[in-house]
Structure 1
């Protein structure tokens, strides 16, 4: 077991949802925390939920800001001295087909969901390599296993995180830093409600899409956080979060070309 007592973890997107749940699960195990998010009010709420006696710092950080990320290791080192765990959780969503989504919106999403992971890893890997044992935890998605229509940008980013994480794990396997890639299924966060939509999609269409998506987001974030942190304790390289992610991963392996027909039928039955 990777003992988390007394370790220090940095979590991006810690102001809500899965990031907040991961922070709470780490804190229960006595892990000190550096919490990062663009939402400062959300960070304060996450910090309020944590037990006393831990070293907890809050940092407003946009992972799409190259200069801010490059300068961030010095900030974390000043607050905590060292770092044992980097959790790249920050992410955004973007609805619409490829023809509907503008190039600027596509780049906006990739800059956060993929390049944010790469930037944070590049910035903090030297700190992690100084530790006897450390770990990078990258949040991909169910949509890093399958690629539904109207998710070209999101799936592209999450498949990229998956590939990056697997290659990085192979490169680092003889050293002290391990890599875990996480594929959450339908976790009950606000990601659908906060998703960006193309201007060509009407308000009514957008609301219908959000309602349909929210019906599939059922797993409590607290449960997802526990699954992820337990996987870190067991040094697992890949984590499927939720029964939907587990089932869909099997369908995709059995039917790598035509899986979407089966997934559609399952999705309609769940709704």
Structure 2
């Protein structure tokens, strides 16, 4: 039985749940946080069959006080935490002129500031312990520039930049950082999707469903990468290839590939594949 401890936001479903189960199978103490109490209870029941120490906390990442309460619970009950996974996130899609500023503020508050709050709140605990590791869940959308998803892309790009900054800033404190950038995979992300374009919703759902890579596959890659203290975790080979193309090709050539793909997809009422 491991004495290591992990805390995961958005841990009651999707990738967060898969990460929780992977660490539970390894014998870690697993604390999940979510805003869905029903799913939280269901996931906790499964976790409790895999590890002796599992706990669920209701936690809204838009509320700094919720994350502070989680930090205090972990310090008081488990003596601290070794890995914090800032995973909670939502999706938004649409043309730049169609997306409301309210939707921009909504996605920034969760996808970006939710990660900022998690890092801000848990860094002092990590420093007191003398160690810790952040896993920030971004997306290939944060490394690429898929049209019709500007707000989602921007928040995920900001999470990548934040993670890169903290990787340097916290190194002398023995605090590790990893950033996860998956492409499409089977998850419940469309439940949170805000869009006025029915075609975008349909195509995104199809892309998520047809992926050969599952949340469990990505969770296993995260488990192994964090043990090695890797920084970038890019689970999809197609995503890695696209990122390499973006970095090596002249911008105009890369952009023409993306634009052509977008035009083809728009002809079918959808969005391009990341």
TM value normalised by structure 2: 0.88
Q: Which residue of 1 aligns with 2:159?
A: 161
What is the CA distance between 1:253 and its match in structure 2?
Answer: 1.3
Which residue of 210, 216, 219 corresponds with 1:222? 216
In 1: Cα distance, 2:186 partner to 2:17 partner: 13
**Alpha-carbon offset, residue 117 of structure 1:** 0.6
Q: Which residue of 2 aligns with 1:83?
A: 81
Deviation, 1:256, is 5.9
Q: Distance in 1 between matches of 2:273 and 2:102?
A: 34
Partner of 1:262: 257
Structure 1: segments with no counterpart, 5+ residues: none
**8 A Cα contact 1:142 1:183, kept in partner:** yes
Find the residue that maps to 1:33 and give its secondary structure. Answer: strand
**2:89–2:111 contact (8 Å) kept in structure 1:** yes
The reply to whether residue 114 of structure 1 matches residue 112 of structure 2 is yes
Q: Is the 8 A contact 1:85 1:128 kept in 2?
A: no
Check the 8 A contact 2:31/2:55 in 1, yes or no.
yes
Q: Which runs of 5+ in 2 are unaligned?
A: 266-271
Helix, strand or coil for the counterpart of 1:241? coil
Q: Deviations 1:196-229 (Å, cap 9, x if unpaired)?
A: 12xxx3xxx42x3222112222121111111111
Aligned equivalents of 1:261, 1:192: Cα separation in 2: 28
Alpha-carbon spacing, 1:85–1:110, altered in 2? closer, same or farther (3 Å): same
Per-residue deviation, residues 223-270 of structure 1 (Å, max 9, x unmatched): 111111111011101110122322221121123624344356499698
Q: Which residue in the other structure is 1:33 paired with?
A: 30
Q: Tell me the alpha carbon deviations over residues 170-194 of structure 1, each in whole angstroms, 9 at most, x when there is no partner.
A: 0112221111011011111111243
Partner of 1:60: 58
RMSD, aligned α-carbons:
2.2
Q: Quick check: which one's helix share is greater?
A: 2
Using structure 1 for the length normalisation, give the TM-score. 0.89
TM alignment of 1:111-190, pairs within 5 A: 111-190=109-188
SS at match of 1:180: strand
**CA distance 1:240–1:13, shift in 2 (3 Å):** same
Contact (CA 8 Å) 1:70, 1:123: kept in 2 or not?
Answer: yes
Distance in 1 (alpha carbons) for counterparts of 2:59 and 2:142: 25
Q: Deviations over 1:75-115 (max 9, x none)?
A: 22233221111100000001112211111110110000000
Please, which of 216, 235, 255 is the counterpart of residue 241 of structure 1? 235
Equivalent-residue separation in structure 1 for 2:72 and 2:25 (angstroms): 26
